[in-house]
Amino acid sequence: DAGVIQSPRHEVTEMGQEVTLRCKPISGHDYLFWYRQTMMRGLELLIYFNNNVPIDDSGMPEDRFSAKMPNASFSTLKIQPSEPRDSAVYFCASSLGRVHSGNTIYFGEGSWLTVV
């Protein structure tokens, strides 16, 4: 299996620009997660989906962030407008079945975002 695929791997953008991060989960996985990692705050869960439906978006920092999952094989995380404090590594992850049952989460390699 190809694993969780994220794009772009690296992006440098100017403050105020729109940023779109993309994710293809592992085929057949019905949970998809977006995490953000910074030195100051560590790994934070932003939002997760079950069967393409957003379940918990309480970690989304503010209205500038939005996430969609139009189908089982694709999700986007959008930041509009971007700010320097959004600079971080954004990880997408997916899971087969419920995490609390012991199913594991598989992470992508991350999208490294720098906003200047």
Partner 1 sequence: DAKTTQPNSMESNEEEPVHLPCNHSTISGTDYIHWYRQLPSQGPEYVIHGLTSNVNNRMASLAIAEDRKSSTLILHRATLRDAAVYYCILRDPSIGNEKLTFGTGTRLTIIP
In degrees rounded to 5, what are phi and psi of residue 2? -75, -15
Q: Which is nearer to partner 1, 18 or 56 (CB)?
A: 56
With CB under 8 A as the contact rule, which of the stretches 10-18, 47-55, 64-72, 80-88 interacts with partner 1?
Answer: 47-55
Q: Which is nearer to partner 1, 8 or 16 (CB)?
A: 8
Cis peptide before 8 (omega within 30 of 0): yes
Q: State the Cα angle at 73 between 70 and 77, rounded to 5°.
A: 55
Instruction: List the interface residues with partner 1, window 90-109 (CB under 8 A).
Output: 91, 93, 95, 98-102, 104-109
Give the type of residue at 41: R
Cβ atoms of 57 and 65 within 8 Å: the answer is no
Contacts with partner 1, residue ranges (CB under 8 A) = 4, 31, 35, 42-43, 45, 48, 50, 55-56, 91, 93, 95, 98-102, 104-110
